[in-house]
Amino acid sequence: MNSLVYMLAFFTFLSTLLGGYITLKFRKSLPYFFAFAAGSVIAVAFLDILPESISISSDLGIPLRGIMLTIVGSIFLFSLIEKFFASHNLEHSGHAHVLGPIGASGMIIHSFLDGAAIAAAFQLSVSAGIIVALAVIFHDMTDGINTVVVMLRNRQPVRKAACFLIADALAPVLGLIIISMIGIPESWLAYILAFFVGEFIYIGASTLLPETREHPSKKIIALTALGIILIAILTSIL
């Protein structure tokens, strides 16, 4: 890989760290970050990840029903996970909520796939690689915000949130390097992306949106809308 690829990978790392750092720095304003993350996580699922999964499945002749069933199955799986831990009273007994690390891990894997997308685009052409890399760099800041918010919203300690943030920042760099060397079957990628769609819909709807209802103010509504609008703009122009 040439120096341009390494430079773009470094910018994805910085972008993610910046988003997470801002969130950690202003923890007293977390309800506003929750609102923004609720809008952006759900928007990413519908406007970024799902179209990509459908596009790949269409190119490969994978039935759309299989993609949709994967999404439904993902939502159902995460609802079962949450109910299991709630039934064991983990949250009420002082233990951190398990959906924090699970959700943040999903963000990390998604970021890894972002790096894989850059590697695949550069295999087509330099211009395609630059376009995809810029898209990743711009929306990785929201990934950093979302990773930290998901952790803190689920009662995880700040230090642990910071560790997941660093992992999320490194993920696209590793994805770019590893996939450039070994590749990944596109048929797998379609289902993996669909699984993340279900996860992000569930996290946004069941974990983050309820927080916005607990703080009914115009700022909360505006920030939720801003999260949606920002992702909509980025996915339409990049």
3-class SS at 95?
coil
Contact 31, 211 (CB under 8 A): yes
DSSP type of residue 61: T
Mean pLDDT computed over 147-175: 88
Q: What is the mean pLDDT of the chain?
A: 81
What span, in angstroms and rounded, lies between the C-alpha atoms of 49 and 234?
A: 13
State how far the Cα of 48 lies from the Cα of 23, in Å rounded to an integer: 23
- pLDDT band at residue 25, thresholds of 50, 70 and 90? confident
Q: How far apart are CA 214 and CA 31, in angstroms?
A: 9
**Of 40-54, 106-120, 123-137, where does the model show the most confidence?**
40-54
> pLDDT tens-digit profile of 191-237?
888 888 888 898 788 877 876 777 778 888 899 999 899 888 877 87
| Residue 128 DSSP SS3 | helix
Structure tokens given for 83: 């109910």
What is the rounded distance in angstroms from the CA atom of residue 90 to the CA atom of residue 171? 29
Query: For position 190, what pLDDT does the model report?
Result: 86
* pLDDT tens per residue, range 5-19: 778 888 989 989 998
What is the CA 214 to chain-centroid distance, rounded? 24
Instruction: Return the DSSP state at 45.
Output: I
* pLDDT single digits (tens) 55-72: 989 999 999 999 999 999
The listed range with the strongest mean pLDDT (32-46, 87-101, 172-186) is 32-46
Closest CA to 172 of 199, 128, 135, 146: 135
Mean pLDDT of 144-171: 88
Any idea how long the chain is?
238
Give percent of the chain with pLDDT exceeding 70: 84
- At 108 the pLDDT is 87
User: What local confidence, expressed as pLDDT, does residue 146 receive?
Assistant: 81
CA distance 104 to 143: 10
* Angstrom distance (rounded) from CA 40 to CA 200: 10
Residue 28 pLDDT greater than 90, yes or no: no
Give Cα 145 to chain centroid, integer Å. 10
pLDDT single digits (tens) 117-132: 778 767 656 766 676 6
Q: How many helices (H) and strands (E) does the chain have?
A: 10, 0
H/E run at residue 98:
none
DSSP assignment, residue 215?
Answer: S
